Amino acid sequence: MVKVLLAQPRGFCAGVIRAIDIVDQALDRVGAPVYVRHEIVHNRHVVDTLKAKGAVFVEELNEVPTGAVTIFSAHGVSRTVQADAEARGLPVIDATCPLVSKVHIQGRRYVQAGRTLVLIGHAGHPEVEGTLGQIDGEVHLVGTPEEVESLPLALDAPIAYITQTTLSVDDTRAIIGALTARFSDVTGPDTADICYATQNRQSAVRELCEHADMLLVVGSPNSSNSNRLREIGEEMGKPSFLVADGSQLDPRWLEGVETIGLTAGASAPEELVQSVIAAIRAVTSVTVETLDGLEENVQFRLPPALDRLPQRARVA
């Protein structure tokens, strides 16, 4: 018998729900296919489900036929991509998470105010690439405190920082500390502007690991926030594993374990969490409890461009 403790909150955040709803509603309005630049969110199950409904995922706009409805992923895109779509006359629905868009606006404001901008994030991540392409002027990308030390900037230069949304206050604290220690004039957004979902899920995992013998995180290997949840479990001294779904559960992980902490990244649907519970139940008897935690009631409006799509003819 093992106990499964579920984190609260876990799984889908408001930005992911909004992005998936955008694809679903676009398909409902115009019919298949609609084209999505990059994975709408970083979860293979979600992507495959939308593919089955008629969404076509592409990496570049030149893969989109002329006139086809085009959706930008929740991670955001550069201004170059936006301009290319406009030049081609593509009907675009922007599914960029509103919290990501907020970071873009903050960055532009800091640059307009004459500050040198530092972006705290992971090189190569789609959100980071999009943010870099949304800012006019030079942006310095740093991912560690050590990289702050090598920034080619005067110590009295006016600095401003913005952060990748899938990093929490805890993730960015050391880097912000390195910036303020090295430079004399540093500003940045209030900690309240950090993505609520990232912070809440990481806090829930820390609480979970106080009660569990091991940690399972449901999420895709390319999901930044899911990987960070697993890393937190390891930092807290717990065996921690990232699984896409129940099929990846290794029964050997359960040997000698009495309590399993189970959570999911912000792009992982609840059905995958349930598939992991079913896989555990196939090995041993299980009780399931949910830890007390925050109830998230955040909702984001859908973009007005959805309403401007032509409705396909309905068969009576």
- Tokens 């969110």 found at: 41
Q: What confidence score (pLDDT) does residue 204 get? A: 96
Distances from the Cα of 179 to the Cα of 90, 147, 150, angstroms = 41, 10, 11
Q: Is the peptide bond before 33 cis (omega within 30 degrees of 0)?
A: yes
Q: How many CB atoms lie within 10 A of CB 300?
A: 15
Q: What confidence score (pLDDT) does residue 316 get? A: 43
pLDDT digits (tens, 9 = 90+) for 4-40: 999 999 999 999 999 999 999 999 999 999 999 999 9
Q: What is the pTM of this model?
A: 0.93
- DSSP H or E stretch at residue 49: helix 44-53
**Catalytic: which of 39, 127, 149, 258?**
127
Taking the C-alpha atoms of residue 204 and residue 199, their distance in angstroms, rounded to an integer, is 9
Taking the C-alpha atoms of residue 286 and residue 206, their distance in angstroms, rounded to an integer, is 22
Which among 34, 37, 42 has a CA at the least distance from the CA of 16?
Answer: 42
3-state secondary structure (DSSP) of residue 36: strand
Residues 145 and 124 sit within 8 Å (Cβ to Cβ): no
Q: What confidence score (pLDDT) does residue 315 get? A: 44
* Domains located in the chain, CATH noted: 2-12+196-290 (3.40.1010.20), 14-97+300-308 (3.40.50.11270), 99-193 (3.40.1010.20)
Q: What confidence score (pLDDT) does residue 190 get? A: 81
CA 184 to chain centre: 32
Distances from the Cα of 223 to the Cα of 42, 124, 211, 220, 235, angstroms = 5, 12, 25, 5, 19
- Which residues in the chain land under pLDDT 50? 315-316
Q: Specify whether 149 is catalytic.
A: no
